Amino acid sequence: MNKNGIPRYLSFVPVLAVLAASIPGSGMGSLRLDAAFVGPTAAQTAPEARAARIEKELLPGILITGRPLASATLAERMASLNIPGVSIAVINGGAIEWAKGYGLAEAGSTTPVTTRTLFQAASISKSLAALAALRLVEQGKLGLDEDINTRLSSWKVPDNELTRTEKVTLRRLLSHTAGLTVHGFGGYPADAAVPTVIQVLNGEKPANSAAVRVDVVPGSLWRYSGGGYTVMQLLLTDVTGKPFPALLSELVLKPLGLGDSTYKQPLPAEKHGVAATGHRPDGKLIPGRYHTYPEMAAAGLWTTPTDLARFLLEVQRALHGQSSVLTTEAARRMTTVEKEGYGLGLSLQGTGPTLSFGHGGSNEGFRCQMTAFVERGQGAVVMTNGDQGDLLGPEILRAVAREYDWPSYQPKVKTTVRVVPEALAALTGRYELRPGHTIMISLEGETLFVVDGQERIELNPESETRFFELVEGTTVDFLKGQDGKATHMVIEGRIKAPRVGEK
């Protein structure tokens, strides 16, 4: 996952589903390859035994036919990825079956991660913020499909020719279909000035992000926008007259019993002792321990896997009419697709018994992922204090999926073929993933690589034009022109990136 919870395949930069953690899971059906994949007997289902098996054998995203299973222990992967601390909560049978912390809250310290250690939830913040907005809709204070400028008082979304007939609405803000810019936010180091929300929206200093503006017709497409959630944050405070952290405590955190969670930014001094420190890919500490995010709805929640599991459970209960806090209508709105596998504040995957909901998160030094199933009382939350937690989180979830016989999140099975270098050479060049962000497809010997800055990702061939990478199994298809050279690359069948040059 990259910044604020978007899948790696949208940028090819490793920065934790889901939307594989914003789009969670692999989406593959349950599979059994050999005896190693047989579920435990009844005598082996004690939570401690299950946790021990998960810790012992994390699973890769891809199994290639004819190659041995390359599993690793949790401790090994934490060490190899420079992730000091991990916290996990697992839902089973409609309850939190177990939760456990691993490693250290800060590298070089002696402070262990416990189940009450706070992590930055990053883009998972959006899911709980969306619930707060829906509660205000149910109270009659907001409308899902009205022009939000009729409710905003301290700032307005600037109108232009694109908003002449289609307007920015709350539904579109929550589903990333409002046509607004600014993908995600980098936060502010401890020694930096922190902007107001309006300064963030206008891109005015000391804001370190661009202005949030409509640049495509609202409702016309799905495009992840942390900027849109920051507009929603202002909408909620304008309508209620309450500070955002207090409002979210009133509408979501207290009613759901999320006692260890807060949207306060910067983190209050009394919480510093229980907060994890963020770490770079090389294991070095984030200067000042962590960044501050005034974009609270988009990225500002501090929480624990146990509290997030309580949120997931409440949504599950509400979907079955069993919640005393959430209405079934609110839960259904959150878990009904608006566009591109995204509901109102939640990523969605699968159908029927495989339908899952959740979100991923990616702040500076923190990566996390949560997921749960609609039709079964199962799910899990993983939070890490390392920039490479987006690699570790899915491996943990796949181990949980195997242990608990989930209907998805199992490794994908792939078969590779040999493609001659001449055919591979026709696919090389520079491709534009989104405005201002290009990547290279390069050929080294008989192997294609995605090159994005310092990162190189190997592409494995399934055919002359279809490839996959090994970390998450992301597929890449190449479209060719009449001259036999590639004109576009299509990522996961969704993101069509044009070829814009040889180099």
Question: Does residue 378 share a domain with residue 334?
Answer: yes
Measuring CA to CA, which residue among 409, 368, 411, 390 is closest to residue 71?
411
Q: Is residue 224 one of the residues assigned to a domain?
A: no
Question: Does residue 126 share a domain with residue 78?
Answer: yes
- In terms of Cβ atoms closer than 10 Å to its own Cβ (0-12, 13-18, 19+), residue 245 is middle
**Predicted pLDDT at 241:** 98
Domain boundary among 415, 436, 471: 415
The C-alpha atoms of residue 145 and residue 134 are separated, in whole angstroms, by 12
Beta strands in 244-402 (DSSP E): 302-303, 347-349, 356-363, 366-373, 379-384
Which whole-number Å values give the CA distances from 130 to 228, 321, 452, in the listed order? Answer: 12, 20, 33
Q: Is residue 473 one of the residues assigned to a domain?
A: yes
- Other residues' Cβ atoms within 10 Å of the Cβ of residue 462: 17
**Predicted pLDDT at 72:** 92
Measuring CA to CA, which residue among 248, 241, 251, 242 is closest to residue 263?
248
Domain boundary among 383, 415, 447: 415
Q: Is residue 228 one of the residues assigned to a domain?
A: no
Question: Does residue 286 share a domain with residue 428?
Answer: no
Report the side by side order of strands in the sheet with 347-349. Answer: 95-103, 85-92, 379-384, 366-373, 356-363, 347-349
**Predicted pLDDT at 66:** 84
pTM for this model (two decimals): 0.84
The H-assigned helical ranges of 249-350 are: 296-299, 305-319, 328-334
Q: What is the dihedral of CA 240, 241, 246, 249, to 10 degrees?
A: 0
Q: Is residue 54 one of the residues assigned to a domain?
A: yes
Measuring CA to CA, which residue among 366, 369, 298 is closest to residue 26?
369
CATH number at residue 495: 2.40.128
Low-confidence ranges of the chain (pLDDT < 50): 1-40
Give the CB-side neighbour count of residue 488, counting CA atoms within 13 A.
10
Beta strands in 104-152 (DSSP E): 119-120
Question: Does residue 454 share a domain with residue 403?
Answer: no
Give the distance, in angstroms, between the CA of residue 498 and the centroid of all CA atoms in the same chain: 25
Instruction: Quote the mean pLDDT of the chain.
Output: 90
Question: Does residue 446 share a domain with residue 411?
Answer: no
Question: Does residue 67 share a domain with residue 100?
Answer: yes
CB 275 within 8 A of CB 289: yes
Residue type at 232 in one-letter notation: M
Q: What DSSP designation does 308 have? A: H
Length of the chain: 503
Q: Is residue 86 one of the residues assigned to a domain?
A: yes
Residue type at 334 in one-letter notation: M
**Predicted pLDDT at 42:** 53
173's enclosing H/E stretch is: helix 170-174
Question: Does residue 435 share a domain with residue 409?
Answer: no
Q: Is residue 160 one of the residues assigned to a domain?
A: no
Measuring CA to CA, which residue among 322, 348, 321, 345 is closest to residue 334?
345
In a 3-state reduction of DSSP, which class is residue 171? helix
**Predicted pLDDT at 126:** 98
Domain with 400, as residue range(s), is 1-143+261-415
Q: Is residue 474 one of the residues assigned to a domain?
A: yes
CATH number at residue 288: 3.40.710
The C-alpha atoms of residue 391 and residue 5 are separated, in whole angstroms, by 12
pLDDT tens digits for 382-402? 999 999 999 999 999 999 999
Domain boundary among 387, 415, 443: 415
Question: Does residue 289 share a domain with residue 323?
Answer: yes
The C-alpha atoms of residue 490 and residue 479 are separated, in whole angstroms, by 8
Q: How far apart are the first and last CA of the chain?
A: 26
Question: What domain count does the chain have?
Answer: 2
Q: Is residue 431 one of the residues assigned to a domain?
A: yes
Measuring CA to CA, which residue among 382, 385, 386 is closest to residue 395?
382
In a 3-state reduction of DSSP, which class is residue 229? helix
Measuring CA to CA, which residue among 361, 388, 364 is closest to residue 229?
361
Which whole-number Å values give the CA distances from 186 to 224, 232, 272, 423, in the listed order? Answer: 15, 19, 20, 40
3-state SS of the chain: helix, strand, coil percent to 5?
30, 25, 50
Question: Does residue 319 share a domain with residue 455?
Answer: no
Question: Does residue 370 share a domain with residue 266?
Answer: yes
CB 133 within 8 A of CB 170: yes
Question: Does residue 383 share a domain with residue 494?
Answer: no
Q: What DSSP designation does 149 have? A: G
- Other residues' Cβ atoms within 10 Å of the Cβ of residue 83: 27
Question: Does residue 441 share a domain with residue 367?
Answer: no
Q: In this structure, what are the phi and psi dihedrals at residue 181, rounded to the nearest 5 degrees?
A: -90, -175
